[in-house]
A and B are shown apart, each in its own frame.
Chain A
Amino acid sequence: MSRLWSLLLGLLVVILQITLANLIAIFNVKPDLVIIFVAVIALFEGSTAGVIWGFGLGLLLDAMGGGLMGLGSLGYSVAGFISGRFAAGKTTNRLHYLLALAFSTIAAHAVFLYFSQPWREVGLLQPLLERFIPGLIYTWALGLIWMVSPFSHFPGDKIRG
C-alpha cells in the first residue's frame, strides 16, 4: 500500500472514529478504530512509522475533542511503538498481529486512563470496568474480525502454508 493510500485510509479511520463509531457503540462503549489502524501500520512498517502515524492521527483526534491536547498523540504514539516491536518483516503472522494489537491497546488505554484522571472523582475501578476494559475488549473483537476478513494479509502465514 502506498504512503498516499495509507494517509487517506488513516484520515478516513479518524473521521469514522469521530462520526460513525458511535453507531456501533454498545452500552456507550465504542471500539477504537484508530488503534487497530496504527497497530497494523506499525506491525508492517516498524516502530518508528508506528510512532509517527500514532502521533499524527492522535493529534487529529485531540483537535476534535474537548480534552487535553497531546493526550491522543501520546497514547497512539506509544501504541504504534509497541506494535512495531512485534514487526517481523516477511515472517509477520497472525500471532504477531494479535500480540501487537493486545499490548498496544492496553498501553494506549493506560495512557488515556492515567492522563484523563477519572479516579480523582470515582476511583480507579469504576472507569476501568465501565469504559476502559469494555472498550479494550470491543476493540480486540473488531481487530479479530479484521484479521479473519479477506482484507487482511500476513506474509508469515503464507510462508508457513
Chain B
Amino acid sequence: MSVFQRLNIELFEPWMALALAAIISLALMASSEAPATDSARIRLTGVIEIFTRPFNVVPRILSLQSENARLRAENAELRMQVSTGKEALQENDRLRQLLDFKANSGMILRSAEVIGKDPLPGVNSLLISAGWGSGISKNMAVINDRGLVGKVARVGANSSVAQLLTDRNVGAAVRLSNCRADGITVWAGANRLMIEGIASATPVRLGEEVITSGMDGVFPAGIPVGQVVRTERAEENLFLDVEIEPAVDFSALEEVFIVREGMRSLLP
C-alpha cells in the first residue's frame, strides 16, 4: 500500500485542489498590477477577444432599429442647433481674437466597438476593439457622444479593457459648470456618482452640468460627466454631498471613443 493510499489522499483531493486554487488566486490578486501578470492577462484577452467578435453581431442587429430612431430624432435636433451654433461660433472667434486667446486643439478620437461587458459581479468594465495597434495606451479617456465613459485600464494588440466611471476604482476630477467648484467623482452604488470635495458653502444648483476639470491629468478638461440631481448639506460636515446622474447610459454602450489626444484648454 502506497503512502498516498495509506493517507487516504483521495478524500483530501478536493480540499487540496481548492487550497491550491485559492493560493494561486490570492497570489494573482496580490500581483494584479505586476507587469508579468498584466502581460499574461493582455495575451489571454487577445485570444478570447477573437472568439467574442462573432457574438457581437447579435446585440448590434437587435439595437439597430431603436438606434435609427434615436439618431433621426437627434439629427433633427442637431440641425436646429447648427444654425444657432454657427452664429455663436462667429461671435466666439471674434471674442477670441480680441482676447488673444490661445486656440484650442480638438480631440483626436479613435472609435472602438464594445465587445464585452462586466464579466463578474462588482466589476464594471468594458472590453473594446482597439489596442496599442491603434495608438491606444493605458489611462486614455474613454468617451461616447453623451460624455465620459471611463478610462483605459489595460491595452492589448487589438483590444483593451476600459474601467467604467461607475467602477469603484475610478475617479475623475470634475468641475461644476456654474459655480466652478472642483471635486472628484466617487462611485455611489449601481450607476450613481457622488462628487467629493465640494465645500458646504458652495451654491450648487440642481441640474447644474458637471464636466471634467483636467486636474487629474487623465481626463481632458471639458468632457460632460453628468448633472447634479441631489445635494445635501450636513451641519457637522465641511463638505457638501453632491449626487450626479451620469450623462452616459452605462447599460447601453455599444460604441465608444478613446481620446488619443485631449483638448488642451477647453476651459479658460
Interface residues of A (CB under 8 A from B): 11, 14-20, 22-23, 25, 28, 30, 32, 46-48, 50-52, 54-55, 58-75, 77-78, 81, 84-85, 109, 112-113, 115-118, 120-122, 126-127, 130-132, 135
Residue from B164, B187, B250 in contact with A121 in the complex, judged by beta carbons closer than 8 Å: B187
Q: How many A-B residue pairs have CB under 8 A?
A: 183
Interface residues of B (CB under 8 A from A): 13-14, 17-18, 21-22, 24-29, 31-32, 37, 41, 44-45, 48-49, 51-52, 55-56, 58-59, 62, 115-127, 153-154, 161-164, 167-168, 186-191, 250-251
Q: 5 tightest CB-CB pairs across the interface, nearest first? A: A66-B125, A70-B28, A116-B122, A47-B14, A67-B123
In the complex, the answer to whether A60 meets B59 with C-beta atoms within 8 Å is no
Minimum CB distance partner of A77 in chain B? B21
Minimum CB distance partner of B19 in chain A? A51
Give the distance in Å from the alpha carbon of A61 to the alpha carbon of B18 in the complex: 18
Q: Contacts A19-B52, A66-B163 given; indicate if A73 touches B28 (C-beta within 8 A).
A: yes
In the complex, the answer to whether B120 meets A81 with C-beta atoms within 8 Å is no
In the complex, which residues of chain B have a beta carbon less than 8 angstroms from the beta carbon of A116?
120-123, 168
Interface SS of chain A: helix
In the complex, which residues of chain B have a beta carbon less than 8 angstroms from the beta carbon of A15?
48, 51-52, 55
Give the distance in Å from the alpha carbon of A126 to the alpha carbon of B194 in the complex: 15
18 A-B pairs whose Cβ atoms sit less than 8 Å apart in the complex: A11-B51, A14-B48, A19-B59, A54-B21, A62-B120, A64-B45, A67-B125, A67-B167, A69-B32, A70-B29, A74-B26, A81-B17, A81-B18, A113-B122, A116-B122, A116-B168, A121-B168, A122-B188
